[in-house]
Structure 1
Amino acid sequence: MAEMNQKRIFRYIPLIPVAAILASVLFSPSCANTTEAPKGGPKDTIPPVITRIVPPPGTVDLPVKGTQIAFTFNEYVTVKEPKGIYLSPPQTKSPKFRIKGRSVIVYFEEDLLPNTTYTLDISGAIADNNEGNMFPGFTTVFSTGHTIDSMFVCGTVRNCTDLKPIAGATVLLYKDASDSAVFLKRPFASSRTDAWGYFSVRNIQDTSYRIYALVDANGNNMYDPDEDRIAFLDTAFIPKRVVRDSLPELMKYDPKDTLLCQSRQNDFVLNVFREKPSKQMIVNSKRLSDRSCYITFMAPGARIDSLWFQGYPSSRVITEFNIQEDSLLLWLNVQRRMPDTLNLMVKYHKTDTLGVLKPFTEKVPIYVEGKAPSRTERKKVTHTDTICPLKIVSSPETVEQVGFAIEFDFPPILGYFDSLSLVSVNPRQQEAVEDFTIERDSLNLRRYVITPKNKLMPGYDYKFKVPHRIFQDINGYWNDSTQTKITLPNDESLSTLVLDLRNVGHKYIVDLLDEARKSVLRTYTIEKDTQLLFPYLKAAKYSIRITEDTNRNGIVDSGNLLEHRQPESVIFMTFNGSESINIPERSEIVQEVDFSSLFRN
């Protein structure tokens, strides 16, 4: 019976008045001496229980100097995670602690603020000495003034791209409505999220606030754009709920208790993102080969007026930006021997000391890494050193959607595309020449996409061949012949998912992911009503992510705090209440999706 009582306390301990906790301990059978290892019997799996708090929760008129809070437990404990001891409003220095007997005494190196309500949370910080059973947590409240503030706000913090909850994020409330407050000041009140990304900022004033969430890299409770990720609410709000210990939103639940943890309501859901840097400059460069290198910029959208290598005409430079335009690949289309150091001259818009973008010409020396090869080593040339390297990329599961691709290591400067061939072989081993289209990737000048014109047939083999010496790259080398063979999957156990998309108002990115949301298996970009086909799926659970591509650039864009711009909206489709769809063997599942209701605010 005593064990059952203590298990109940483990689940609901923050809601039970300290006097009731003390009574449950006093009237239960006494335990063995917890300073010694048990002599036998079942392993202790019950977490510590608080028996006394001094001063008691709700104490007012505490001194600003020298205040300390003592938590006494029913057994000897240790502080396993000091960061779990969290004071709100936070101070410059984190709370300190010492252990005395069965008590953890928390004290503060700085004076408290006058006439201020404080909460001190010890969730995820304390474990028993012997077995390491974690104490689920407790939040005590006290004040240096005459009253205790009584309002609270709660919600969930998630990652903006996969919508997974973020544990240990810091939620900050500011009465200062200026945009600069989160950069320069510590908050009026704050809290940390639990394992479910859930937070409650309790015992706050009935007034207007701005709310933010930080993945706070250095733990200073202020926003550092170079290190932290952030979420924010567009408008100020006034809390509407009053603290009552019986509310599920204020309870400390066992994180493994899914039903109870998910039963808590949200006032807000905050989606965390990493801001794009605002300062622009060249931050890195690297020589990749004799004739190739790259440079990277601090911020995306780099504006380059001109660039050239000293001693070479700018017309001989081939460039390729990535889609964010913060990384630039360069090749020097010159066949003579290259020096160990190439001096790249870049005229671009750089951020000056006043934070203003101004034209600036920068010299970037790019060196050969390691020891330069000797004359003897340069004479040791193998066949692979004198060919134009390329590969054919294809997959039986996706060839119908994305075709074949030829990917070069170096930009080709000469190519006889008419010599490429695609041949089908039917089950009777009869060959036929297939027509196809060729298109260079708009984002990668070294990648060409080959798309068959006719529908590919199950049971047929498709041979795509690149003959010998039809491509020459900037090094002056020709390619070896290579080919690949693709056969559409004919495993009868495979399944198909069809998404019937309706009321598509503008551009969206639709991704098929594994259940863990770690790998993108298929991707479509859509702009109108259509049916998306996902064939050849193994029996498993999958997730469907839909991103609203507001600026139509084909990528998921981050937000910006000072511009009050949220990251582009992402949702995961739900199937009978679940955010994953179970695809059984040998099935075709058709799912209708009404886009007019997906992204309603």
Structure 2
Amino acid sequence: MKLKQWFRHMLLFRYRGLVQLGLFLTLIIGFWGCASTGMPTGGPKDEEPPYMVKSIPAANSLSFLGDEIRIEFNEIIQVSDIFQKLMVSPPVNKQPAVTTRGKTMIVKFQEDLQPNATYTLDFADAIKDNNEGNVLENFAFSFSTGDYIDSMAISGHLLDASDLSPVANALVMVYSNHADSAFRTLVPLRVTRTNAEGYFSIKNLAPIGYKLYALEDANRNYKYDQPGERIAWYDEIITPYYGFHERIDSVGSDSAVVVQVPAFLPDSLRLFMFQEDNVAPYLTDYKRPARNKADLYFSRPMDVKAEVKVVGREDADLFILENSPRNDSITVWLRDSVLINSDSLLLHLRYQVLDSLKQPEWKNDTINAFFIDYGGSQREGRGRKKDDEQVELPSLRVDGIKPTFGILDRLTLTFPTPLDKADGNAIRLSQELDSTLVPVDIRLVKDSIYIRQYAVDFKREAGSAYVVEIDSAAFTDIYGVSNKPVRQRFTVSAADTYATLYIEVAQPDKSWVLEVLDRQENIVRTSKVPTNGKMGFRYLRPGDYLIRIVEDVNGNGKWDVGDFEKGIQPEKLYYYPEYINARANWDHFINFDPSTFDIYDFVARMRKSQSSRKK
């Protein structure tokens, strides 16, 4: 009996011990878990932008008579670049004052508002939360000073007409006045600003007809009144309306339905921005960098060459005029020693400008191209040449002969001053054949534009080496300075170092011109598209190329800007959607169908906004 009691006692003791041990371990584990938690994490990172909770007055309120708007958000906010980003429609003469107090933004108007008008405050991306900087995109607030509020909207994209890149931070505006003069003289009815993708949305419109314009407003007056301002406009009257887009939704693995999605329309408008070629012609600057020359600069290329005379002198051969290739500057090369040695040079200019009716008329200017000698006279002592030292006579420099020429490059000789004599018989060209120099026939041709350039034309062979020899005094400039003898070897690149593009354009139009552009989008080749659409471009240097078609309406062989007064839009562009990687010694065949050109896809993949590209 005692043995059984002892056995029960031992079992009970062990059971209580196990229970106590379990409780002890539980306490230890709980304490360790609490001790290891550390500082609280605060939850996941805030990645949501702030949103409006309430406002005074309420959004879309009617009969607003106050001068202050209070908008409360769900968290503390801050605003950035509000003066540049906040757009008020209709435009106000004085920008509202905007302040923030914690979660509240206060907009204080600085002038009386128009009666019976729907106002929109477009904040773009100026608002963000205080902690993480999450931006509230395209936030707008509307109210009316009358008894109704307009609720229609239109939207679209603004692109650069010359390369289809998005145009950021430009004004897009509507007028209920349909006269073209409204764009120049009136403040728009509603205005917004494009974002980094060139996207715009104009809200709170009535269901009436509007004219749509875009403007880079240099003087911030909402009017197209500066010749340097870039513009765009939509040709047709736009009437906003509420409609639907059709979208295909799948309802199973093998079926789909067409769903109608409500939308404010039109919502895919496209505007193409450009700067008109309307800068008034005038003399912008003049310099006399050397005694024997004066440079005159004009604001734009001149349609008719300017006339230049020396005041008080009617002698012939006083100077030679050199016009720049674009005809926007003139160099006056003096030949008369009296004029060269005179510090003062009075010139009379006569050039064409446009009057108030844009009709050509002649303008007269008189300038004094004064020469200032900053070098000073030769000093005695140090730096002075000794009497027995031989003075080196000046010689005429011959530039343009480089070690390697492309197959299509011309051998062009360039001189620092205009020539009085050029002797083509004093130039010899030889081809290296099996270590032997074989003479090659040449022809010396004076350039029709660059008066100081002469081309040496010859029948070249790809991959060959040549030697050019120029006798002394082959060239003499108008000051009697001649060249020294020249002898230089050069090579012409081999044909297998080039690529060839064969392009077939589908359904070509008679106005189309095709351009081949390099990575920097410089035009390297251009040609009118033939009726069969088949074209070939040989001897292209290896690299990446874009090809595009210009709808050359005026037939001058290049892309042109528009003309607002004449209602002419900039010429249309169609791009091949990808870069073409042209490899050496390869023939590349390209099928280009401009009718399938998807401008939105091209812009999204191949273009960045102009504001991004400037960074």
Alignment TM-score, normalising by the size of structure 2: 0.74
1:98 CA displacement: 0.3
Return the letter of the residue paired with 2:394.
T
1:355 CA displacement: 7.5
Q: What's 1:497 paired with?
A: 501
Secondary structure of the residue aligned to 2:407 is helix
1:117 CA displacement: 1.9
Instruction: Give the direction of change, closer, same or farther, for the CA distance of 1:598–1:121 in structure 2 (3 Å limit).
Output: closer
Return the letter of the residue paired with 2:274.
F
Q: What's 1:433 paired with?
A: 439
Secondary structure of the residue aligned to 1:307 is strand
1:239 counterpart = 2:245: no
Percent identity of equivalent pairs: 25
Query: Over residues 335-392 of structure 1, what are the superposed CA-to-partner deviations in whole Å (9 max), with x where a residue is unaligned?
Result: 5643222211112334568977543432111122563643659998999993333421
Q: What's 2:336 paired with?
A: 334
Assess if the C-alpha contact under 8 Å between 2:50 and 2:77 holds in 1.
no
Secondary structure of the residue aligned to 1:183 is helix
1:563 counterpart = 2:569: no
Assess if the C-alpha contact under 8 Å between 1:90 and 1:190 holds in 2.
yes
1:419 counterpart = 2:423: no
Query: Over residues 120-167 of structure 1, what are the superposed CA-to-partner deviations in whole Å (9 max), with x where a residue is unaligned?
Result: 222221233344443333123322222222332222212222221111
Assess if the C-alpha contact under 8 Å between 1:208 and 1:236 holds in 2.
no
1:401 counterpart = 2:408: yes
Aligned-residue Cα RMSD (Å) equals: 4.0
How many residues of Structure 1 are paired with residues of Structure 2 in the alignment? 533
Write the mapping of 1:69-80 to structure 2, written as runs, cut at 5 A.
69-80=70-81
Q: 2: CA distance between counterparts of 1:67 and 1:405?
A: 71
Q: What's 1:254 paired with?
A: none
Write the mapping of 1:219-368 to structure 2, written as runs, cut at 5 A.
219-233=220-234, 235-242=235-242, 267-277=268-278, 279-303=280-304, 306-310=307-311, 311=313, 313=315, 315-334=317-336, 337-350=340-353, 357-368=360-371
1:589 CA displacement: 0.8
Q: What's 1:448 paired with?
A: 454
Query: Over residues 281-329 of structure 1, what are the superposed CA-to-partner deviations in whole Å (9 max), with x where a residue is unaligned?
Result: 3222122432222223334435456321233635443223345533333
Q: 2: CA distance between counterparts of 1:95 and 1:387?
A: 69
Query: Over residues 485-516 of structure 1, what are the superposed CA-to-partner deviations in whole Å (9 max), with x where a residue is unaligned?
Result: 23415777x643333568573573623220xx
Instruction: Give the direction of change, closer, same or farther, for the CA distance of 1:58–1:99 in structure 2 (3 Å limit).
Output: closer
Q: 2: CA distance between counterparts of 1:470 and 1:327?
A: 29
Return the letter of the residue paired with 2:408.
Q
Q: 2: CA distance between counterparts of 1:63 and 1:445?
A: 71
Q: What's 1:591 paired with?
A: 590
Secondary structure of the residue aligned to 2:287 is strand
Instruction: Give the direction of change, closer, same or farther, for the CA distance of 1:92–1:474 in structure 2 (3 Å limit).
Output: farther
Return the letter of the residue paired with 2:587.
E
Return the letter of the residue paired with 2:399.
K
Q: What's 2:207 paired with?
A: 206
Return the letter of the residue paired with 1:346.
L
Return the letter of the residue paired with 1:511.
V
Q: What's 2:478 paired with?
A: 474
* Bigger shift: residues 430-439 or 238-247: 238-247
1:441 CA displacement: 3.5
* Bigger shift: residues 564-573 or 296-305: 296-305
Q: What's 1:165 paired with?
A: 166
Q: 1: CA distance between counterparts of 2:488 and 2:56?
A: 78
* Bigger shift: residues 434-443 or 164-173: 434-443
Q: 2: CA distance between counterparts of 1:276 and 1:411?
A: 32
1:170 CA displacement: 0.9
Instruction: Give the direction of change, closer, same or farther, for the CA distance of 1:466–1:386 in structure 2 (3 Å limit).
Output: same
Q: 2: CA distance between counterparts of 1:599 and 1:445?
A: 46
Q: What's 2:493 paired with?
A: 488
Assess if the C-alpha contact under 8 Å between 2:431 and 2:440 holds in 1.
yes
Q: 2: CA distance between counterparts of 1:179 and 1:399?
A: 51
Instruction: Give the direction of change, closer, same or farther, for the CA distance of 1:151–1:468 in structure 2 (3 Å limit).
Output: farther
Secondary structure of the residue aligned to 1:83 is helix
Instruction: Give the direction of change, closer, same or farther, for the CA distance of 1:46–1:225 in structure 2 (3 Å limit).
Output: same
1:197 CA displacement: 1.0
Return the letter of the residue paired with 1:167.
A
Assess if the C-alpha contact under 8 Å between 1:225 and 1:277 holds in 2.
no
